Amino acid sequence: MIDTNSRMISLGVLFLRCLIGILLFIAGSGKLFGWFGGHGIDAAIQGFQKIGISTPLTYLSCYAEFVGGFLLTIGLLTRLAAFALMINMLVATVVLFPHGFMGPAGAQTAFIFLIIDIVILMAGPMAFSIDAVIFRN
């Protein structure tokens, strides 16, 4: 009851990595390429410009979600990806917070992603990852 099972912690981090990785990959690919019902990069640029974010930063944000989401899912360069996504979600939380925390335009989703990224950054990729295979010993 009180022992810590490192395999279960690794499995839990894997679930978090896959959850956030897949969701951010889908979001990023929708913003970049219009996949999964997204509207593509032109719509993303227009939407980001409305809230004061420049075109280069829009590309940076979209590619962070797309590439970072993929890397988190497979567990490759995990801490680097988590750090980039943490910054991205911190900015998203700050930008969305004036619209409220809850609700369709609120900051709650970006904040949840921010916290998950921080947990992954702190924990690392754990046992079930490509990083563990590559960097073992």
For 25-63, the pLDDT digits (tens) are: 999 999 999 999 999 999 999 999 998 899 999 999 999
Q: Rounded to two decimals, what is the model's pTM?
A: 0.91
Contact 65, 114 (CB under 8 A): no
Q: Taking the domains of the chain in order of start, what are their residue ranges?
A: 6-132
pLDDT tens column, 112-128: 999 999 999 999 999 99
Tell me how far apart the alpha carbons of residues 9 and 80 are, in angstroms, rounded to a whole number.
20
Q: Which residue do the tokens 């949840």 mark?
A: 112
Place of tokens 């930008």: 95
